[in-house]
């Protein structure tokens, strides 16, 4: 169990100074016979030539690193895997070690870090890392390399990658590829929908001599209504996202990718100038549309206050998907005072099922956790999804900025790293057939309906939805991802439950109320034409 100190784990941690080791631990461990098999399955994906870690473990490590290696493993800092699936849904490629594995490192230290006989090495198997086949089919880069600001120990910088997509692009795998691994701390890739591309380009244009623009907790200012979603990330040890063969992410025509880079200049040798970084995003695209689309829903608590000095503040929020879906991965996001994050499915009777548990939150290891392909988390239509965050805002848990530890202050939701957040993202699948386009073009001018008149909008849109299947519903769902997510998901879930019933009768009958509620929410977006870019593939326009 990750960082939950059982009696066995305590005994293991104390064992470097003497005392019994867990049953099954080799008594006089050597590198080649006992330690190397663990290292090659759990560590060398990072600790390899050219990898993100600071030294190579594909060969016996230098003596100067021996004690530090044992300390990091026994103290459970390495290998990094903050999530705990003990009482939660299974996680694919779980990077944690058993108590016996960790105690093996202690036994090695007691044995004087003996190397042993190389011929005694027996591999446990290949490293538990999934990588896509062959080279990437599309690589996105920034307009120019970026040199981190030496005055900032932590430089957060957003790099627009490549132009906007000219056509719908289906992605089966992706990887954020850092260039200057020595000081690239982490990076997060976001898909900016068509309504946000102009805002990204405006930010980028403010500093024409520098690629990209400065950013912190989010990639756009907190007042924007533009929609964007996280689609990938790089942290040390993170593997590429490889989706099932029948699934893909859709990067819609008109959308664009922005990668938020975190450069840690203090990791460079004293006096050394940060080299130019040319990190990129590698995409493995699919030639044909998939059976299932992978979508990502956000769950966030926004109206919270973490009082100065509070050692255990909590906040939670929940949404209803409104339809049964298979969740294939999940990720949490808080800032530096976070201590724990938990994502749960809540049944109507109040009972809960654990989807993702991060009992020891670490801002430096914000991983996306994939569930086994054969065992996704089935979220039922009548369940809500709840995220709960816990923070420690005491004096001893404050970040250090420019060498000075900060004083506690009240914390609220904010974009800056020294503000706080409570977010989770769940990626799930829906059949691509729900979002396919249609012929012929159907135009519906909502200017004929008074604002807020849901019945009028229902009558106007029924014909378009009947002709276009759920392409229109899916497009408008993307358009209102932030402002109308809950009623949109409820509408989508309702129509999915209609089975073979004609869509027009479904909307006019059992789904008339959720459709009216959703259209009321989307009224302003649709009237302005803001949703039209999302509907181009449907040959539908709703703007005036």
Q: Helix 99-110 to helix 63-74 angle, to the nearest 10 degrees?
A: 150
| Cα–Cα distance, 369 to 292 (Å, whole number) | 19
**Given the DSSP bridges, would you call strands 313-320 and 325-333 parallel, antiparallel or unpaired?**
unpaired
| Cα–Cα distance, 275 to 116 (Å, whole number) | 40
| Cα–Cα distance, 174 to 132 (Å, whole number) | 8
Q: What is the mean pLDDT of each run of 10 residues along the chain (544 residues)?
A: 39 53 90 92 79 79 91 87 90 82 94 93 73 91 92 87 94 92 84 90 92 84 72 74 91 94 78 89 94 86 94 93 85 91 94 96 84 92 92 91 83 80 89 55 41 57 50 67 73 76 68 77 72 68 56
pLDDT value of position 128: 59
pLDDT value of position 489: 75
Closest CA to 185 of 223, 231, 152, 151: 152
Tell me, what DSSP letter sits at residue 343?
E
Centre a 10 Å sphere on the Cβ of residue 50 and count the other Cβ atoms it contains: 6
Q: Which residues sit opposite 342 in a β-bridge?
A: 357, 388
| Cα–Cα distance, 411 to 418 (Å, whole number) | 8
Q: Which residues sit opposite 242 in a β-bridge?
A: 173
DSSP secondary structure of 118-153: GGG-----S-S----SSS-SEEEE-SS-B---TT-S
H/E/C letters for each residue in 148-208? CCCCCCEEEEEEEECCCCCCCEEEEEEEEECCCCCCEEEEEEEEECHHHHHHHHHHHHCCC
Burial (CB count within 10 angstroms: exposed 0-12, middle 13-18, buried 19+), residue 407: exposed
**Is residue 374 within 8 Å of residue 410, measured between CB atoms?**
no
Q: Is 482 helix (H, G, I), strand (E, B) or coil?
A: coil
| Cα–Cα distance, 396 to 429 (Å, whole number) | 42
pLDDT value of position 123: 87
| Cα–Cα distance, 184 to 178 (Å, whole number) | 7
| Cα–Cα distance, 15 to 515 (Å, whole number) | 63
pLDDT value of position 87: 92
**Is residue 100 within 8 Å of residue 22, measured between CB atoms?**
yes
Buried b vs exposed e over 195-219: b needs ≥16 C-beta within 10 Å? bbbebbeebbeeeeeebbbebbbbb
pLDDT value of position 464: 47
Closest CA to 291 of 411, 192, 431: 431
**Is residue 96 within 8 Å of residue 253, measured between CB atoms?**
no
Tell me, what DSSP letter sits at residue 447?
G
pLDDT value of position 284: 97
**Is residue 36 within 8 Å of residue 121, measured between CB atoms?**
yes
Percentage helix, strand, coil, to 5, in the chain?
A: 25, 25, 50
Q: Say what the pTM is.
A: 0.69
Q: What are phi and psi of 427, to 5 degrees?
A: -95, 135
């Amino acid at each position: 169990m990750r960082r939950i100190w059982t009696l066995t784990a305590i005994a293991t941690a104390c064992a470097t100074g003497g005392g019994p080791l867990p049953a099954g631990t080799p008594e006089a461990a050597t590198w080649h016979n006992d330690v190397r098999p663990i290292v090659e399955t759990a560590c060398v994906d990072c600790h390899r030539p050219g990898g993100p870690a600071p030294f190579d473990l594909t060969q016996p490590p230098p003596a100067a690193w021996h004690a530090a290696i044992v300390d990091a493993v026994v103290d459970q800092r390495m290998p990094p895997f903050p999530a705990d699936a003990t009482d939660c849904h299974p996680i694919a490629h779980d990077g944690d070690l058993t108590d016996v594995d960790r105690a093996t490192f202690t036994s090695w230290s007691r044995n004087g870090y003996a190397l042993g006989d190389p011929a005694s090495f027996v591999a446990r198997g290949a490293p538990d890392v999934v990588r896509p086949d062959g080279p990437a089919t599309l690589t996105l880069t920034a307009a120019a390399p970026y040199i981190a600001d030496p005055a900032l120990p932590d430089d957060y910088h957003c790099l627009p990658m490549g132009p906007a997509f000219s056509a719908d692009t289906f992605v089966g795998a992706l990887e954020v590829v850092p260039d200057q691994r020595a000081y690239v701390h982490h990076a997060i890739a976001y898909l900016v929908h068509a309504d946000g591309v102009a805002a990204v380009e405006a930010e980028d244009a403010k500093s024409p001599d520098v690629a990209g623009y400065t950013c912190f907790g989010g990639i756009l200012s907190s007042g924007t209504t533009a929609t964007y979603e996280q689609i990938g990330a790089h942290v040390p040890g993170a593997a590429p996202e490889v989706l099932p063969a029948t699934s893909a992410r859709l990067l819609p025509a008109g959308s664009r990718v922005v990668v938020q880079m975190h450069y840690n200049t203090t990791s460079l040798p004293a006096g050394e100038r940060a080299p130019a970084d040319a990190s990129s995003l590698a995409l493995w695209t699919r030639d044909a549309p998939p059976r299932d689309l992978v979508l990502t829903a956000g769950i966030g608590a926004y109206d919270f206050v973490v009082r100065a000095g509070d050692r255990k503040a909590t906040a939670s929020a929940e949404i209803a998907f409104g339809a049964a879906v298979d969740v294939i991965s999940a990720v949490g996001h808080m800032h530096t005072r976070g201590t724990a994050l938990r994502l749960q499915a809540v049944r109507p009777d109040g009972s809960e099922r654990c989807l993702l548990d991060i009992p020891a939150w670490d801002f430096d290891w914000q991983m996306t956790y994939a569930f086994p392909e054969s065992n996704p988390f089935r979220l039922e239509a009548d369940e809500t999804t709840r995220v709960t965050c816990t923070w420690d805002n005491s004096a001893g848990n404050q970040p250090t900025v420019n060498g000075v530890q900060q004083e506690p202050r009240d914390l609220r939701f904010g974009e800056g790293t020294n503000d706080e957040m409570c977010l989770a993202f769940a990626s799930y699948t829906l059949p691509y057939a729900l979002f396919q386009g249609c012929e012929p073009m159907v135009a519906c001018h909502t200017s004929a309906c008074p604002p807020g008149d849901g019945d009028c909008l229902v009558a106007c849109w029924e014909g378009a939805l009947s002709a276009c299947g759920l392409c229109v519903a899916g497009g408008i769902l993307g358009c209102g991802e932030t402002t109308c997510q809950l009623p949109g998901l409820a509408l989508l879930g309702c129509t999915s439950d209609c089975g073979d019933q004609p869509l027009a009768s479904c909307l006019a009958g059992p789904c008339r109320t959720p459709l009216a509620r959703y259209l009321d929410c989307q009224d302003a977006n649709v009237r302005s034409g803001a949703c039209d870019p999302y509907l181009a593939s449907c040959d539908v326009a709703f703007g005036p």
